[in-house]
Structure 1
Amino acid sequence: MADNKDQIPGPDREPEEKKYSFLQETIKPKPISRQQLVRQLVRIAIYGVILGVFACLGFFALKPWVQDKFRGDLETVTIPEDEDSDEAEERDGTEEDGAEEQTDTEQPLTAESYEQIMASMNERAAEAKKGIVSVEAVSEQTDWDAEMTGIKRSATGVITADNGQELLIMADNSICADASKWTVTFDDGKTYDAALKRQDRNTGLAMFCVARGNIEDTTWDAVKVSVLGNSNLVKQGDVVMALGNMFGYPEGMSYGVVSSTEYKAAFYDGECDVLATDIATEVEGTGVLFNLTGEVIGLISPSVWKDNENNVVNAYAISDLKSVIEIMANGESVPYIGIYGTTVTSELKEKQGMPAGIYVVDVDPDSPAMEAGIQSGDIICQVGDESVSSIVTYQSAVLATKSGRQVVVKGMRLGADGYVDVKFTVTVGSKE
């Protein structure tokens, strides 16, 4: 028992601590060979290329959606007003004086001089071409003549403005007939889908647009917005450049002189000066008339003097169309009442006792004017709050109204006892 008690630990005795010994193993990584390292780097590079390709594809796929989703507000297009005639004449006079001082040192013209002049003209024409395009109607049926000749149904357009989302292009509305889809070909030869923004059958103009996001950088480098010049300064004998589809095919070019600036083309609710030239054209030719500084001074249209059989370029003077262009560029309808009129001259006032205003020569059937009761022979004196003393002031007053709104038109009508006051409430329309 004593021996057993000796083996039992007492309260003052601690149990023996058991100690165990473990083997600690250190795992060392297997050394990577140079060949394996190269393979790993190649694999990572391939993964990077694949990821980059998918990222690029995703960017280009989502770019139109993102631009459409997060685009800002349209910028309002403002066409600059024409320079004052007196200031322009003073500036031109100063330039002419400077030129006269150099006449003593001028050399006689030679064949080489002519070549230099033409080379300079061609350079200016090439620069002006950046601001025009060819607008083509897209047909679902195959045009075999176009396939064989390469000449498609098209009209010349001029790049008029950039509203931040679209490039705006003014063209003759003859390209709109029997068409619902259009394309635009720029000076670099690239073709893009275009949409019809507005058209005005009264003046014969159409405004097309191409989304900025669809235009490639290479095209941006090759085009520009044309400068609309002051056609009021154009004089008989001025040298001009005609660019466009004047001869039945795009990219035509010709030079000539202005043969007359004394005549006008009339349309409902207004008129427009005509720049007549000695440049040959096809009957249905369209194009743009430029001065030598590359500014647009006229739009060549087959609707100018339709009965003209001389087959020469006649263009609507751009200054008389700027208000219409600005309205259409901002996506609005061009106001239309439907009156053919002429200014009551001082001679008519004296001989026939007519009041001041515009004499109504004709009224367009089914027009707002006809519906309101305006008749041929009436004299219009006021449109809204604007007094009317000439066809120019009448046209300006009409364009200052809004399509769809009502405006009070005041005038005078010849009765048994002379002219009496008349008043009409006209709902302004548009001729789209």
Structure 2
Amino acid sequence: MSVENKKEEEFRFITEKIKAKPLDKKKAVLKAVGFIGAAALFGIIACFMSVLTKPFAESLFAKEEVSAITIPKDEEAAEENGNAQVEGGNQQEPVAEAAPRELNVGDYETIYKELYKVADLAECFMVTVTARTSDVDWFNNTYESQGQVSGTIVGNNGLELLILTERSAIEGADEIQVTFVNKDMETATIKRYDANTGLAVIGVPIAGMKKETLDKVEIATLGNSYSAGQGEPVMALGSPLGYPNSVFHGFITSCKNTVSTLDVNYDLINTDIIGSSQGSGTIINTDGEVIGVIAQKYGTESSQNTVVALSVSEIKGLIEKLSNNQDIVYFGIKGIEVTDTIAIKMEIPRGVYVTETAIDSPAMTSGIQSGDIIVSFDDEKVTSLMDFENRLVRYAPGQVVEVKVMRHGSEGYKEIAFIVTLGSLK
């Protein structure tokens, strides 16, 4: 065989095609039907299993919802009217006064025992908050420091016990521990704090707490401090003198003092109970209700050694916001109320007289300055501090409001409107 013939045969062999097997249409249709049937069967089974397992899956992976904390607000007590008549016009029969009886030592012992029974029940909502911080000294040695303050259980949102305490003691801490009435200790985290009052709310996860602890603790009842009056007996719980688990009794000496903070003025409760600058805790009445939160920084020079508290009715809205992890709205002024008497005597408009605007605050940024008298907040009339506070608290940081003021000039008072973007108090 010649070389050319040999190459030609090799070429034919290489280029030869293999003929495909003819398609069996009947088998193809059967396979397609079988595939579709299998897919449908799988889908039916999947749906059936989904229906069966859905309740279990939902219970297993369900996201736990946080319940909002709601604290009913109090109204200031109206002044008593000595001329008020009995409803229906019926006159009451005169009541014979009991003859005075001299108290003996046994009577005093009974009274104090009853008071301490109330305090003992109230201890179930009191806790000790310990903040631990690690640091390094000059010789590169690690050391730990700690501070303690009292706290009050103010709520349960379904996931955490919420505790009201002092911000200064826990800020920057590496670890926060809470000791409950049964001496059980749990770790807590900061929820939110208020730069104005220095109050903070911390949370203790319920899931990690022992059943006996949960059965023992109580949530404090926040009473109506507006109804408290001078001379009423009260007790101070927590750390009035700076050391925990203390109980002191005494009387309210004044409910008329106030403290001016940014955007809000708070009523104070002064007592004759011995205290210290490091004191913390709560004031309760004889019903075991919290009527004050100890705030020694608001004490005057003459009252440094006695317990001073923020009126709880004044801060219920604040406690509610902190417990719900909400920002505190910020306007940025300090002011005093221009009453009718002042308005007539000084010949100035009624409203809130601005005594101070905080640096870089929303109020200052918008142009409001000291000496202005706020008369309207977002088209609502303002004639008192309470009006202003009630208007402001309804808004959230970031909202824009129109604030009208009366400003004194060469031609007397003139109304000026400012657009203010509310901020968040940090």
TM-score over 0.5 (shorter chain) = yes
* Alpha carbons of structure 1 residues 339 and 307: separation in structure 2 relative to 1, 3 Å: farther
List aligned pairs for 1:20-99, cutoff 5 A: 70-82=62-74, 85=77
- Post-superposition Cα deviations, 1:262-287, rounded to whole Å, max 9, x if no partner, equal 11111011111111000111112111
Q: Which residue of 2 aligns with 1:43?
A: none
Please tell me the residue identity of whatever aligns with 1:273.
D
Q: 121, 139, 148: which is aligned to 2:115?
A: 121
Query: How far did 1:178 drift?
Result: 3.5
Please tell me the residue identity of whatever aligns with 1:212.
I
How many residues end up aligned between the 2 structures? Answer: 353
Matched, 1:207 2:195: no
Q: Point out where structure 1 has 5 or more consecutive residues left out of the alignment.
A: 1-65, 144-150
- Share of identical aligned residues, percent? 35
Distance 1:358 1:86 in 2: 22
Distance 1:187 1:279 in 2: 23
> Residues 243 and 254 of structure 1 are in contact (CA less than 8 Å); yes or no, is this contact kept in structure 2?
yes
Q: Which residue of 2 aligns with 1:376?
A: 370
Please tell me the residue identity of whatever aligns with 2:283.
L
Matched, 1:431 2:425: yes
Q: 249, 252, 270: which is aligned to 1:255?
A: 249
List aligned pairs for 1:227-242, cutoff 5 A: 227-242=221-236
Q: 220, 240, 249: which is aligned to 1:246?
A: 240
Q: Which residue of 1 aligns with 2:216?
A: 222
List aligned pairs for 1:31-430, cutoff 5 A: 70-82=62-74, 85=77, 103=98, 108-141=102-135, 153-305=147-299, 307=301, 310-430=304-424
* Alpha carbons of structure 1 residues 269 and 176: separation in structure 2 relative to 1, 3 Å: same
Distance 2:72 2:271 in 1: 26
Distance 2:186 2:136 in 1: 19
Please tell me the residue identity of whatever aligns with 1:75.
S
> Residues 134 and 174 of structure 2 are in contact (CA less than 8 Å); yes or no, is this contact kept in structure 1?
no
Given the two structures, how large is their TM-score scaled by the length of structure 2?
A: 0.77
Distance 2:205 2:312 in 1: 25
* Alpha carbons of structure 1 residues 202 and 356: separation in structure 2 relative to 1, 3 Å: same
The 10-residue stretch of structure 1 (302-311 or 254-263) with the greater mean CA deviation from structure 2: 302-311
Please tell me the residue identity of whatever aligns with 2:193.
Q
Query: How far did 1:323 drift?
Result: 1.1
Please tell me the residue identity of whatever aligns with 2:399.
R
Tell me the SS of whatever aligns to 1:293: coil
* Alpha carbons of structure 1 residues 83 and 422: separation in structure 2 relative to 1, 3 Å: closer
Q: CA RMSD in A?
A: 2.8
The 10-residue stretch of structure 1 (354-363 or 417-426) with the greater mean CA deviation from structure 2: 417-426
Q: Which residue of 1 aligns with 2:37?
A: none
Query: How far did 1:142 drift?
Result: 9.8
Distance 1:419 1:109 in 2: 63
Structure number with bigger Rg:
1
Query: How far did 1:71 drift?
Result: 4.2
Q: Point out where structure 2 has 5 or more consecutive residues left out of the alignment.
A: 1-57, 87-91, 138-144
> Residues 284 and 301 of structure 1 are in contact (CA less than 8 Å); yes or no, is this contact kept in structure 2?
no
Distance 1:89 1:119 in 2: 36
Distance 2:59 2:174 in 1: 25
Tell me the SS of whatever aligns to 1:119: helix
Please tell me the residue identity of whatever aligns with 1:74.
V
Query: How far did 1:158 drift?
Result: 1.1
* Alpha carbons of structure 1 residues 83 and 265: separation in structure 2 relative to 1, 3 Å: closer
Distance 1:360 1:302 in 2: 26
Query: How far did 1:352 drift?
Result: 2.7
Distance 2:110 2:190 in 1: 42
Distance 2:411 2:64 in 1: 61
* Alpha carbons of structure 1 residues 101 and 294: separation in structure 2 relative to 1, 3 Å: farther
Tell me the SS of whatever aligns to 1:118: helix
Query: How far did 1:302 drift?
Result: 2.5
